A and B are shown apart, each in its own frame.
Chain A
Amino acid sequence: AQSVTQLGSHVSVSEGALVLLRCNYSSSVPPYLFWYVQYPNQGLQLLLKYTTGATLVKGINGFEAEFKKSETSFHLTKPSAHMSDAAEYFCAVSESNFNKFYFGSGTKLNVKP
Chain B
Amino acid sequence: NAGVTQTPKFQVLKTGQSMTLQCAQDMNHEYMSWYRQDPGMGLRLIHYSVGAGITDQGEVPNGYNVSRSTTEDFPLRLLSAAPSQTSVYFCASSYRGVHEQYFGPGTRLTVT
Binding site for B on A (CB under 8 A): 1, 4, 6, 9, 32, 34, 36, 42-46, 49, 51, 90, 92, 94, 98-106
CB of B19 closer than 8 Å to a CB of A: no
CB of B42 closer than 8 Å to a CB of A: yes
Determine whether the beta carbon of B31 is less than 8 Å from that of A42. no
| Interface residues of B, count at CB 8 A | 25
Decide: A49 near B103, CB < 8 A? Known: A99-B94, A105-B40, A106-B42.
no
> Which residues on B sit within 8 Å (CB–CB) of A44?
43, 90, 92, 103
Determine whether the beta carbon of A101 is less than 8 Å from that of B45. yes
Determine whether the beta carbon of A100 is less than 8 Å from that of B58. yes
- Residue among B40, B48, B92 making CB contact with A98, cutoff 8 Å: B48
Q: Whole-angstrom distance between the alpha carbons of A54 and B84 in the complex?
A: 42
> Which residues on A sit within 8 Å (CB–CB) of B44?
103
Decide: A99 near B101, CB < 8 A? Known: A9-B40, A105-B40, A105-B42.
yes
Q: Whole-angstrom distance between the alpha carbons of A94 and B41 in the complex?
A: 17
> Which residues on B sit within 8 Å (CB–CB) of A49?
99-100
Binding site for A on B (CB under 8 A): 4, 31, 33, 35, 40-45, 48, 50, 58-59, 90, 92, 94, 96, 99-101, 103-106
Q: Besides the contacts A36-B103, A46-B101, what 12 more A-B pairs have beta carbons closer than 8 Å?
A: A6-B42, A42-B105, A43-B103, A43-B104, A45-B103, A98-B31, A98-B50, A99-B31, A99-B99, A101-B33, A101-B101, A103-B42
In the assembled complex, how far is the CB of residue B87 from the closest CB belonging to chain A, in whole angstroms?
14
